Amino acid sequence: MSATTPIPPALREWAQAIVGPVSERNVSHNRPNSRVWELTYDTGRAFAKLSPNLTSFGRETRALREVAPGLKPGTVPLLRAADAHQQALLLSPVLGLPVRSLSLAPGGEGTLHRHAGSWLRRFHGGPSDLSVQDRKDAAAEIARAAVGADKHLERAGDLISAVERRTVRWHAAELGQIGPLPAAYIHGDFQERNWLLDADRTSNAFGAVDLERARPHARVADITLLTCGPWVGRPDLEEAFWDGYGRGPTSDEERALRCLSAVDAASAIAWGVPNGDREIVERGRATLARLEVPTA
């Protein structure tokens, strides 16, 4: 969405009925289905968001109602109101500034990823936080990822080479052979574009936003975008993250992470090329090159 796209009148009226007269600023990500406006009113700020679809609305609403209230205040949005008819959310602000807008001091990247690991561990919670149905849903997500690789390849067509196809299919088959993985209610889009850091505080308070992909899944699924992005060539950042998380991945989680990365790469290329997202396409191709499976 363009940064100049105005807030829809119905969304504005709904928000103003809750907080009073507002002025707004479009703060959407640079992608077609991102629709978020920062609202300023007499006594503070809030964010009005239109979910891209009903599934995303349901996922984010649940995360905001069940998970967010248990986290440190100011490190995750809190739900002010929700309107299922518009698929609209009114959210409290998170402390700090977007990480991508900051110039971090030497050593700051490691500290950031340590904070990210600590935050994600709290978001994931413990085994008792998942219901029996949540565990079934988490297992189904892994199975869906394994069988869904062919759909990504079909959608990509000749955008993905024969060598890349072999790599994706090999890892998808491998994913289907891995046993049960530690599960959690994951963030679902845990990457630097959704991170904020309040560097003015001595604690360097870390926060994260955009919970529309939150759902029960294998815990390690939340690590895929990190291992395919900022951790490439930076083992120090990976080490810092796991230090903050409180444990490293199990051997099965490491296997699953490689497999999920390959499937994600196919999805990234299939979506990124027609949508003109060069960054995500390059990430996908680089991932498949690292994971290339030798011919027998």
pLDDT value of residue 66: 95
Banded model confidence at residue 202, pLDDT cuts 50, 70, 90: low
Which tokens is 236 given?
């120090």
Which tokens is 228 given?
């395919």
Closest of 12, 70, 49 to residue 194, by C-alpha:
49
Rounded to the nearest 5°, which phi and psi values hold at 80? -85, -40
pTM across the whole model: 0.92
Least confident among 29-33, 117-121, 286-290: 29-33
In the predicted model, what is the mean pLDDT of the chain? 93
Calculate mean pLDDT across residues 269-279.
90
Residue 125 CB neighbour total at 10 angstroms: 15
Answer for the pair 124, 186: CB distance below 8 angstroms, yes or no.
yes
pLDDT in tens, 136-168: 999 999 999 999 999 999 999 999 999 999 999
pLDDT value of residue 3: 63
Closest of 38, 47, 81, 34 to residue 212, by C-alpha:
34
Banded model confidence at residue 101, pLDDT cuts 50, 70, 90: confident
Name all domains of the chain by residue range, CATH numbers in brackets. 9-91 (3.30.200), 97-290 (3.90.1200.10)
Q: What percent of the chain has pLDDT over 70?
A: 97
Calculate mean pLDDT across residues 32-57.
95
pLDDT in tens, 215-234: 999 999 999 999 999 999 99
Give the bridge partners for 206, in sequence order. 197
Banded model confidence at residue 52, pLDDT cuts 50, 70, 90: very high
Residues 6+ apart with CB under 8 A from 217: 137, 138, 141, 142, 183, 184, 186, 188
Calculate mean pLDDT across residues 39-63.
96
pLDDT value of residue 37: 97
pLDDT value of residue 4: 77
Handedness of CA 228, 234, 238, 240 (dihedral sign): negative
Residues 75 and 206: their CA atoms lie apart, in Å, by 6
At residue 1, does pLDDT exceed 80?
Answer: no
Answer for the pair 214, 76: CB distance below 8 angstroms, yes or no.
no
Calculate mean pLDDT across residues 184-213.
89
pLDDT value of residue 201: 58
pLDDT value of residue 107: 84
Radius of gyration of the chain (CA): 20
Residues 192 and 4: their CA atoms lie apart, in Å, by 23
Give the β-pairing of 183-186 and 88-91. Answer: unpaired
Choose from 29-43, 244-258, 268-282 the range with maximum mean pLDDT.
244-258
